[in-house]
Amino acid sequence: MTGSARITDDTRIAALAPVRAYLLRGARAEADRILAGARAQAAAMVCQARRDAAEAAGQARARGRAETVPLAAAERRRGREQARSIVLGAQRAAHEELRAQVLAAAAGLRDEPGYERLLARLTAMAERAAGPGAAVTADPAGGVVAQSARTVVDCSLPRLAGLAVDALGDQVGELWTP
């Protein structure tokens, strides 16, 4: 092979730049759509949870007035705990819904026109990360898993989607903060 006919990794990477940009734009648009839907759902769930919490606290106050001071204090505490549990449950449900939507969107990538290019990139990344002699297998849910003697690199679509949600970290809390 002559020097002019040799294709370098930099050339391949540069050639894939428009594809990468297109996939990133699509993924960001889909993530924005999912995030907007999740925010709306989370806001509704938190609003309902707050109404339920206010109702529970109101009922606890009413019962507390009718009973002695120590019993009233215990009931208010239970009401606050119940309210907190309701809010935490709504937050947990919103987080689980976001995760489910992101996993579904990731699964849908297999039907997208650029999936074969994405799969090739994931394969190359997994092989590099796992090291020499790594065996790469296609994951039934999409993406690949590479395994060498000491390393397993999971580039499956569900794993990558889960990592993306986890990477949001505290930003997920914005879903249920008014």
pLDDT in tens, 75-87: 899 999 998 899 8
Place of tokens 């002019």: 4
What are the backbone dihedrals phi and psi of residue 119, each rounded to the nearest 5 degrees, phi first? Answer: -60, -40
Residue 2 belongs to some domain of the structure: no
CA–CA distance, 165 with 175 (Å, rounded to integer): 13
DSSP string for 42-90: HHHHHHHHHHHHHHHHHHHHHHHHHS-HHHHHHHHHHHHHHHHHHHHHH
Give the CB-side neighbour count of residue 48, counting CA atoms within 13 A. 10
Q: How many domains does the chain have?
A: 1
Supply the range of the domain harboring residue 172: 9-176
Residue 121 belongs to some domain of the structure: yes
Threshold 0.85, pTM exceeds:
no
Token digits for 116?
């074969």
Distances (CA, A) of 178 to 25, 110, 156, 158: 28, 35, 34, 30
Residue 1 belongs to some domain of the structure: no
pLDDT in tens, 8-30: 878 877 776 676 666 667 667 77
